[in-house]
Amino acid sequence: MVANAYYIHPIVSTIARHFGISDAMIGIVPSLNQIFLALGVFFLLPLGDRFSNRSLVILFSIGQFLMLLMMAISEAFWMFVAASTVMGFFTIAPYLLPAYVSKRTPSSKLGHSTAILTVGVMFGVLVARAGAGVISEYLGWRWVYFLAAGFMAAVSVLLFFIMEGRDKSLSKTPGQSYFALLGSIFPTVKAHPEVLLSGAIQGLGFGTFLAIWMGIGLHLTSPEMGYGTDVVGYLAVLTLINFLMTPIIGRWADRTGARRARFLLSCIYVVGVFLFCFVGHSLWLLLIPICLTNMVGPTIDVTNRMTFLSQAPEVRTRLMTVYIVCMFIGGGVASWAGTIAYDLGGWLGSSLQSFATAVILFALCWIGYRWKGR
């Protein structure tokens, strides 16, 4: 489910050339996908506090399947953009799962279980970025989306057997209407304002991640560097470091405290992003900041979620709604800003734009630590 939004990263230049558009304009595809995902999260994710997560996840996965199929057969750029945008609206299923799991996990293991979910997200991103680059290089970009549609068809069937039904004993407001549930987000945020800070931090982190990888996809396949989309995909395999490190750092965050751990990780993150400004000329030197940011970036997400997933079970889905909306608004804005920065200033422009967002992220992590402490 997660992979569907990231197939475009290594093949962004290939799709731009196919439809005859500029580097700046191709950024509208991931941008609208992320922004409409934020809208889908806001309008649909609160239903997780009222209806069965199992039913919602299956329904939205079927919606993803249909939109991926449309992307694969698109003959016009507007049709490709429209399908990607609507797919974003349906891509909320993975973000129902943290609240689903937190209701079935003791608080003492929340950091570790959240880290396991984060590894699942990273696996989806790895499959998308590594697989799409190789498949596009040898079979063409349309096959990326045909195969993705096939995966989603299989997932939609398997979910019937994987997920448990709703435990009605966990619901505190079974009779609440949809509009009352939607409106209840605002007093919930007022009672738990820190979720806005955590969401802003994650929006900046996710936006930085998207801008970096859009820049890498455009830069390495440019005439200056001359690599194929498969090389961009091979770089994505470095995400494997996360499978080992994120659960370990998640346990460390349980002992250290979410806010302190987040601040310390942000120090490493901003240094890693800064290094991108100096290594664009060398594929091998790029490995250094990629490894640094891949190692700590996902765990900043883990620590962000820890700050609100320890709240009462009946409000967690709504808090997750606010968090994910902030995350994808940040991702949508930054992904388009990243392609515009690359179009205007090349690799250096893209790197400086990412560094600016990383500095703001660092400042907010410091504020969160000073505000709430451990």
Domain hosting 98: range is: 2-162+177-372
Compute φ and ψ for 329, nearest 5 degrees.
-65, -45
**What pLDDT score does 308 carry?**
82
- DSSP per residue, 18-76: HHT--HHHHTHHHHHHHHHHHHHHHHHGGGGGTS-HHHHHHHHHHHHHHHHHHHHH--S
Task: Answer yes or no: is 335 within a domain.
Answer: yes
Question: Does residue 170 belong to any structural domain of this protein?
Answer: no
**Model confidence band, residue 166 (pLDDT cutoffs 50, 70, 90):** low
pLDDT the model gives residue 263: 93
Residues in the chain: 374
- The answer to whether residue 56 sits within a structural domain is yes
Asked if residue 355 lies in contact with residue 273, where contact means CB atoms within 8 angstroms, the answer is yes
Residue 173 confidence (pLDDT) above 60: no
Q: How does pLDDT run across 255-298, given as a tens digit for each residue?
A: 888 889 899 999 999 999 999 999 888 888 988 998 888 888 88
Q: What is the mean pLDDT of the chain?
A: 84
Asked if the structure places residue 239 within a domain, the reply is yes
Q: Quick check: 131 and 233 in contact, CB under 8 A?
A: yes
- Structure tokens that stand for 91 in this block: 């891509």
Tell me the per-residue pLDDT of 313-323, one tens digit each, with 9 for 90 and over. Answer: 777 777 888 88
pLDDT-wise least confident of 8-17, 52-61, 85-94, 172-181:
172-181
> Which pLDDT band, with edges at 50, 70 and 90, does 52 fall under?
confident
Residue 329: inside a domain: yes
Residue 167 is assigned to a structural domain of this protein = no
- How many domains is the chain partitioned into structurally? 1
Burial group, residue 222, by CB count within 10 angstroms (0-12, 13-18, 19+) = middle
Closest by alpha carbon to 214, among 121, 337, 71, 372? 337
- The answer to whether 4 and 68 are in contact (CB under 8 A) is yes
Please, which pLDDT band fits residue 167 given cuts at 50, 70 and 90?
Answer: low
168 in any annotated domain: no
| pLDDT (0 to 100) of residue 125 | 79
Locus of tokens 């990383």: 358
* Residue 172 included in any domain: no
Q: What is the pLDDT of residues 64-99, one digit of tens each?
A: 999 999 999 999 999 999 999 999 888 887 877 776
Query: Residue 138 belongs to a domain with what CATH number?
Result: 1.20.1250.20
